[in-house]
């Protein structure tokens, strides 16, 4: 979300935050650094019509850091 100089009424906005702990709930095997990278990728790939969800986090985490399969 981009705020403009003429945006004076913050009641017109909502802000949603994702934390590395949210990534870790989906992929507990990732380090803090890896979780931060997943969040960065989520931000870069964010699409207005889709948003960010746990499913999106899982897909991006798996693309960035493929899970180890036994």
pLDDT in tens, 31-58: 999 999 999 999 888 777 778 899 999 9
Please give the residue that has the higher pLDDT: either 2 or 22. Answer: 22
pLDDT band (50, 70, 90) for residue 6? low
Which residue shows structure tokens 């380090």? Answer: 31
Q: How many CB atoms lie within 10 A of CB 42?
A: 21
pLDDT band (50, 70, 90) for residue 10? confident
Question: Measured between alpha carbons, how far is 43 from 6 in angstroms, rounded to an integer?
Answer: 24
Q: How many CB atoms lie within 10 A of CB 1?
A: 8
Question: Measured between alpha carbons, how far is 2 from 32 in angstroms, rounded to an integer?
Answer: 27
pLDDT, the chain, mean: 86
Question: Measured between alpha carbons, how far is 47 from 68 in angstroms, rounded to an integer?
Answer: 28
């Amino acid at each position: 979300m981009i705020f403009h100089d003429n945006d004076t009424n913050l009641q017109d906005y909502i802000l949603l935050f994702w934390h590395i702990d949210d990534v870790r709930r989906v992929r507990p095997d990732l380090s803090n650094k890896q979780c931060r990278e997943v969040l960065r990728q989520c931000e870069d790939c964010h699409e207005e019509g889709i948003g960010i969800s746990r499913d999106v986090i899982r897909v991006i985490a798996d693309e960035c850091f493929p899970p180890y399969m036994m």
